[in-house]
Copies of this chain bind each other. A is one copy, B any other.
Amino acid sequence: MSEVISKEQLQQYINKIERLDSEKATIAEEIKDVFAEAKGNGFDVQTLKQVIRIKKMDRNKLVEQEELLDLYRGALGI
């Protein structure tokens, strides 16, 4: 509320985030393009997405399991 903020610093943060957001959007576009190209070459987009999703889940699962192991080790003091 009654905070004194640096207008300049605020401006910089906003600009930085907007720039990063824009980069992110660009990459999202590129991903869309790749899917479109794959579709054009006879691949089923939905299946591709599912494959990628499952691979991602596998990776996440590994990470979670390692974290669980760490928890166990911490709990057992070893």
Contact = CB atoms under 8 A, between A and B. Distances in A.
Interface of A: 1-3, 5, 9-10, 13-14, 16-18, 20-21, 23-24, 27-28, 30-31, 34-35, 37-38, 41-44, 46-48, 50-55, 57-58, 60-61, 64-65, 67-68, 71-72, 75-77
A42 B29 CA distance: 34
Report how many copies the assembly holds. 4
A13 B27 contact: no
Given A14-B48, A53-B64, A57-B64, A27 B34 contact: no
Contacts of A10: 43, 48
Contacts of A60: 57
